[in-house]
Structure 1
Amino acid sequence: MQKIAIYGKGGIGKSTLTSHLAAAFARLGKRVIQIGCDPKADSTSNLLGGQPLTSVMGYLREHDEPPQDLAAISRTGFGGVLCIETGGPTPGLGCAGRGIIATFDLLEDLSLFETFAPDVVLYDVLGDVVCGGFAAPIREGYAEDVLIVTSGEKMALYAAGNIADAVENFRDRGYARVRGILFNRRNVPDEEEKVRAFAATRSLPILADFPRSDAINRAEEEGRTVIEAAPQLPISEKFLALARSLLTSEPQEA
């Protein structure tokens, strides 16, 4: 089982990239779980036809007891991907990070991995602040590899640096490693030079370089990924190539 956490600044496109990567793994015949670790609970919408999914925290707010089976807090999306959202507390009340920890504990109680037996598990994690529950995938050993999504924007690179530092802080415990960078272009000035300089400073490979894509936008309006909507397009092949690369022991730089 390959366990990958995808981190990035809020709004950088990590949920879009995560759902597309999940769809790509599924297209390659892998059993996939995607767990959205963001209070917005919209990580998996492109795999579910744009339909909302009851989050774990949402379920716990509405019921007196935790769910007794996975069916109450999950749904199967495109390609058989099992979709789960942690969700968050009522706005202004509680801590979203604690919601992630509570979700992980519940999924262990429900024997998620033993029941579904996935080949790949993807965690989509907000990376503006890598603390508390948001650090759980790397701090508690849930993830083995971390992919950092960034553009050439200043705050995206700043968040990417914090994420890389957080992973490094747990390195001596045998937890996750940063496997590389996903370059999600925003077409800002000198963007490629800035991202490549950041990657070189951190000695990290750029595993994929994604241009701004109207095809992705059109597919998302339909609640789909381009892997489902237009698998023949070059942008779809980029995700499939990334998925193939990640399945090897040492992925190749794009």
Structure 2
Amino acid sequence: MNLDNKRIAFYGKGGIGKSTIAANVSAALSKAGKKVLHIGCDPKSDSTRILVKRRIPTVLKTLKEKGEQLNKEDILFAGAYGVTCVEAGGPEPGIGCAGMGISAVIETLEKLEVFAMDWDLIVYDVLGDVVCGGFSIPMRKQCVDTVYIVTSSEFMSLYAANNILKGIAHYETPAQKLFGGFIHNRWTSKTDKDVVDHFIQMTESHLIASIEQNQAIKMAEYQRNTMIEADPQAPISEVIENLGKDLFCEVTACDSHPLDDEAMEALFDFVSVKNQEISR
């Protein structure tokens, strides 16, 4: 595996906008001249949809069809601004373990020597709160240098974010810190930001970026576009481009300090108070 490239992973609760951020960051950095490999690790197989403008064959499906005859061209697809895209795939709903797709894609990319290619950046877009060990494989197999958690101020998003911190704590070492910080997505008010800021303070971590809810991003997605392509001059495109630059630079990793159950209850009480403030 080429250790000269930068390898990052986006984790977060399903539906939080993690894939949108990951895809837009990949597009922005590729547009800036970086050679980017974007790996979708979600059974929905939609991480690369707005990059390639369609759903691409997954590694699991192609492996089943071609077996030992599979080659790079069967699973690598060109996306926006030259991003190279891969989708892990997953089993049929209700059957098998979704994490197996992540394991299969890593093993396949290693076998085909894709990781040894001249990438500047490898991006993993990973679903879940790592309760399922399969979703921790990028960390467990030491395929990533830094993990960023995407969250909102919602209860379940914060709960998932805290579980992800617990997962990170299992795989980092004193010599290798994995946690890069939080990305706050979809904030609509000062109250939203107060909640996430409080959570970040409690976990003694970093806020990398705060992205305001924006209808333009949704419209771009409906048109199978990244925001960087749809309207490169829009303020939100500048936010995404700056986020990409920040993530590509050497970011100081922080210790992961997940909250225990008592602290989470205290956080939820804080959120409840803030939500009552909104309704007044």
- Provide structure 1 residue ranges, at least 5 long, that are not aligned to the other structure: none
Q: Which moved more, 1:150-159 or 1:184-193?
A: 184-193
Match of 2:197 in 1: 196
1:49-128 equivalences in 2 (<5 Å): 49=53, 51-63=54-66, 65-115=67-117, 117-128=118-129
Amino acid paired to 2:111: D
Q: Which moved more, 1:132-141 or 1:14-23?
A: 132-141
- Superposition deviation, residue 168 in structure 1: 1.5
Change (3 A) 1:175 1:99: farther
Amino acid paired to 1:155: M
Rg comparison, structure with higher value: 2
CA RMSD of superposed structures (Å): 1.8
- Superposition deviation, residue 27 in structure 1: 1.6
The question of whether the paired residues in 2 share the 8 Å contact of 1:149 and 1:182 is answered with yes
Aligned pair 1:29/2:33, yes or no? yes
Match of 1:218 in 2: 219
The question of whether the paired residues in 2 share the 8 Å contact of 1:143 and 1:175 is answered with no
Change (3 A) 1:23 1:61: same
Q: Percent identity?
A: 41
The question of whether the paired residues in 1 share the 8 Å contact of 2:187 and 2:193 is answered with no
Aligned pair 1:183/2:187, yes or no? no
Q: SS at the partner of 2:119?
A: coil
Q: SS at the partner of 1:113?
A: coil
Q: SS at the partner of 1:125?
A: strand
Q: SS at the partner of 2:251?
A: coil
Structure 2 Cα separation of the partners of residues 250 and 100 of structure 1: 26
- Superposition deviation, residue 188 in structure 1: 7.4
Q: SS at the partner of 1:195?
A: helix
The question of whether the paired residues in 2 share the 8 Å contact of 1:15 and 1:43 is answered with yes
Structure 1 Cα separation of the partners of residues 121 and 198 of structure 2: 31
Q: SS at the partner of 2:122?
A: strand
Q: Deviations over 1:224-247 (max 9, x none)?
A: 111011111110011111111122
Structure 2 Cα separation of the partners of residues 204 and 44 of structure 1: 29
* TM-score, normalization by structure 2: 0.84
Q: Deviations over 1:177-205 (max 9, x none)?
A: 11011100253783111100111111211
- Superposition deviation, residue 173 in structure 1: 7.1
Match of 1:159 in 2: 160
Match of 1:39 in 2: 43
Amino acid paired to 1:183: H
* TM-score, normalization by structure 1: 0.92
Q: Which moved more, 1:22-31 or 1:128-137?
A: 128-137
Match of 1:134 in 2: 135
Number of equivalenced pairs: 249
The question of whether the paired residues in 1 share the 8 Å contact of 2:187 and 2:211 is answered with no
The question of whether the paired residues in 1 share the 8 Å contact of 2:187 and 2:210 is answered with no
The question of whether the paired residues in 2 share the 8 Å contact of 1:141 and 1:175 is answered with no
Q: Deviations over 1:40-68 (max 9, x none)?
A: 0000011112x1100011212333x1453
Q: Which moved more, 1:184-193 or 1:127-136?
A: 184-193
Structure 2 Cα separation of the partners of residues 130 and 236 of structure 1: 33
